[in-house]
Amino acid sequence: MKKKIGMINRIMVISVMALTVGIISAGCVKTGSSSESAAGNAVIGIIGAMDSEVTSLKEHTSDKKTTVIAGMEFIEGTLRGRSVVIVKCGVGKVNAGICANTLINNFGCTRIINTGVAGSLNNDINIGDIVVSVDAVQHDMDATALGFEKGEIPYTDMRVFSADAGLRQAAVRAAKESAPDINVFEGRICSGDQFVATREQKDEIISGFGGMCTEMEGAAMAQACCLNDTPFVIIRAISDKEDGSQHVQFETFQAAAARNCANIVEDMVEHLAD
């Protein structure tokens, strides 16, 4: 009986180790494959958290087919001559992670673009400016009491999720060409299940992670993409000044920001190489 129990324990340990190694080796802390090398029939997934972030994109998509999974409407179709799947994931990291995983594994998306709004963490960035992700972190992941670095997902060795270099370049080019009057920054996106509004919240995030802006979905989407070895990029329009000296009503800003982001994504999609 003791031998049997010992064997079971060894099997459990080996299984846990295998799972951990699989997660660590999933490419979640390295830049993904270049978007330029994707297959010619590549499908591009486009995620926004709210209707205003994807409505324009849906309206400009032809040959549409709608599929509902996990309460989310996935719109397959053609945008600027490219195969796309557009979806509103809803607010928060869980929604974003489920959405990205579904795009990859149910719809075969080989590249993911996440578009939306964020709050500034850098006072050089003005309202309406665009931030394109270099990488993303989860600022509300905190297992420091167990000896892990802040933002590190316990027992996975994952903390920073790097955006695809090719998609980053495509996003920056599209932003500069489709919205030439808007400044474009590249940097870290800090995500968490919090609406960050106070000086104290921002200071804590800046102290722990640095970063250009903060929002509620990007890093979870990034984690799902990295686990599936799928290139991604996050594009964010900024809704306030880092020091709180200027701000606009969130609902009012949403409409203008959504138009800019939609134009950038459309231009980007059209010019992405197969």
Q: What pLDDT, on a 0 to 100 scale, did the predictor assign at position 17? A: 33
Which pLDDT value is given to residue 242?
67
pLDDT score of 2: 40
Task: Please tell me which residue in 152, 240, 242, 267 is annotated as part of the active site.
Answer: 240
**Residues facing residue 65 across a β-bridge:** 76
pLDDT at 247: 55
Q: In the chain, which stretches have pLDDT less than 50?
A: 1-27, 29-39
Look at residue 179 and tell me if it is in a domain.
yes
- Asked if residue 216 is part of any domain, the answer here is yes
The answer to whether residue 138 sits within a structural domain is: yes
pLDDT of residue 273: 78
The pLDDT assigned to 123 comes to 87
CA 137 to CA 223: how far, in whole Å?
9
177 is catalytic: no
| Parent domain of 135 | 42-271
Provide the mean pLDDT of the chain.
Answer: 84
Active-site choice (53, 129, 152, 242): 53
The residues, ordered by sequence, that sit 6+ positions from 217 with a Cβ below 8 Å of its Cβ are 47, 49, 89, 91, 92, 93, 95, 96, 114, 116, 191
Active site residue 157: no
pLDDT value at position 248?
56
Residue 3 located in a structural domain: no
Q: Is residue 87 part of a domain?
A: yes
pLDDT of residue 211: 95
* 2 in any annotated domain: no
183 within domain boundaries:
yes
Place of tokens 């099997």: 11
Count the domains in the chain. 1
CATH of the domain at 111: 3.40.50.1580
4: in domain:
no
